[in-house]
Amino acid sequence: MFSFKEKKAQKGFPSVDFEQKRMIGQGLNFASSEAYKLLRTNLMFSFVDSDAKRVIGITSSVKGEGKSITSINLANAIAETGKRVLLVECDLRLPTMAKRLNLKSEPGLSNLLVGLSSSSEVVRRGVLRATLDVLPAGAVPPNASELLQSSRMQYTIEKFSEYYDYILLDLPPVTVVSDALIVSRLTAGMVVVVRSDYATKAVLGETMRQLKYVNAKVLGFVFNGVKESAGNYYKKYYRKGYGYEYGYGGNEDDGK
């Protein structure tokens, strides 16, 4: 099922129109680009052990906080260093990755997990840059949670970890469905995206409670659209030692 060989981007491979995707990759403004580089640097320092499992989950409290855009840009920032990166869309219920990156939506992760497709068929190679591969969600299944907690999912991540330096998992919001909590056991830690003036203090608190309940390690926060004078109530979680904090201005994403 799993076979990977180095190869050049195929002729006709879809490219991103940065005029339309100004919040992705090279279309980022300077401040946002630097924020992702800072996030990248500190996350890479979190994995000083060469044998450490470099699987990172990206989630949020609710839909619309920008976790998918964050996943894409963080994956791109890491790949910029020459590391081999796989971005996996684990939001099987409401997938958006393929549309954002102008990729075919199927086959994808769900097709791989049920045995309908092989790894070479579902992974899109060389997206945004040569060392960044993307695995979209694929067909929307009726049993998303069951697929994500299956032994096949665990096996899939373990096999991909043998090839890639970093694997980033774009996960559903924590308080909406249990999927992010289920997949967190496969990660070395989680990054929580928080959109300014969007998720309430109570909702963010519930997110942290649920992550703590499943023993998920929180590596840090990404504060999306935070102005200098806003978002102070988020800081208490940072001060309690949950991890690094990062921020970038503007409305990065009005979707996921």
pLDDT in tens, 117-143: 999 999 999 999 999 999 999 999 999
pLDDT over 50 (residue 232) = no
With bands split at pLDDT 50, 70 and 90, how would you rate the model's confidence at 230? very low
| Percent of the chain scoring above 90 in pLDDT | 62
Which helix H or strand E contains 166, and what residues bound it? strand 166-170
Choose between 66 and 253: higher pLDDT: 66
Looking at residue 256, what is its pLDDT?
62
- Taking the C-alpha atoms of residue 240 and residue 165, their distance in angstroms, rounded to an integer, is 30
| Structural domain spans, the chain | 37-248
pLDDT over 60 (residue 92) = yes
In tens, the pLDDT along 32-52 reads 778 888 889 888 888 777 666
Q: What is the pTM of this model?
A: 0.81
116-120, 155-159, 244-248: lowest mean pLDDT where? 244-248
Which of helix, strand or coil describes residue 68? helix
- Rounded to 5 degrees, φ, ψ at 191 are -110, 130
- Taking the C-alpha atoms of residue 244 and residue 175, their distance in angstroms, rounded to an integer, is 22
- Contact between 167 and 161 (Cβ < 8 Å): yes
- Taking the C-alpha atoms of residue 90 and residue 70, their distance in angstroms, rounded to an integer, is 14
Looking at residue 246, what is its pLDDT?
46
**Domain spanning 37-248: which CATH class is it, in words?**
alpha beta
| Percent of the chain scoring above 70 in pLDDT | 75
Distances (CA, A) of 180 to 56, 169, 186, 192, 211: 12, 9, 10, 11, 9
CA dihedral 32, 231, 237, 88 (to 10 degrees): -40
Mean pLDDT of 163-181: 96
Quick one: 73 exposed, middle or buried, by C-beta within 10 A (0-12, 13-18, 19+)? buried
